Amino acid sequence: MTDTRQMTLEQLEEAIYSCTLCPLHQGRTKAVPGEGPLSADVMFIGEGPGFHEDRQGRPFVGAAGKFLEELLASIGLTREQVYIANVVKCRPPGNRDPLPNELSACEPYLERQIQLIKPKVIVTLGRFSMGRYFPGASISKIHGQPKRVGNYLVIPMFHPAAALHQPKWRPLVEADFKKLPHYIAEAGHFGDDAPPPQAQQLSLF
């Protein structure tokens, strides 16, 4: 297992590019570490790279990425102002759901990214990133409802792709995004040296 605890963001990215911790590396074109400034107030965590992300080595560059950029623009933000990552850094074959061993292999990378970015707000996009903080919860029931987890305000949201595939979700996604500026303003750092939040730290009810 790669020790990520003292890595800089640049070192972390290099480790991800060369990672062979799970079988996903065998089929990748490029690993997708994530991107954004160290100073980002908001961190978006998606699920995994798709076809276009695998080719370019960047997160959210397909249709879902364009929709995410539209959503950000609706609240006065650009993708250059936020940090975007995924729970797995290589594309699962055929865009299937990531497997438990794949999620576990990438977990230290994501934890270190959160430690380094220290966002005020973490937005989970889709059920696999949501499950990290809200195990067993239903996205249709808790979307847009923030919870304090460790030092972070975590907001579960539908994945942009879900709104593209099922138009009924689009108004909900847009409404949830409209609330983000308020949450960003209200959230703050609660100790720079605290460990990244873990799902088991959260008690939903």
Main-chain phi, psi angles of 45, to 5 degrees: -120, 110
**pTM (2 decimals)?**
0.89
| Tens digits of residue pLDDT in 110-128 | 999 999 999 999 999 999 9
Mean pLDDT score, 98-102:
96
| Tens digits of residue pLDDT in 180-200 | 999 999 886 444 444 444 433
Distance separating alpha carbons of residues 144 and 177, to the nearest angstrom: 8
The reply to whether CATH 3.40.470.10 applies to domain 9-186 is: yes
Contact residues for 149 (Cβ-Cβ < 8 A; gap 6+):
122, 133, 197, 201, 202
pLDDT(37) > 50: yes
Q: By CB neighbour count within 10 A (0-12 exposed, 13-18 middle, 19+ buried), where does 205 fall? A: exposed
Domain ranges of the chain: 9-186
pLDDT score recorded for residue 200:
35
pLDDT score recorded for residue 39:
93
pLDDT score recorded for residue 108:
96
pLDDT score recorded for residue 151:
86
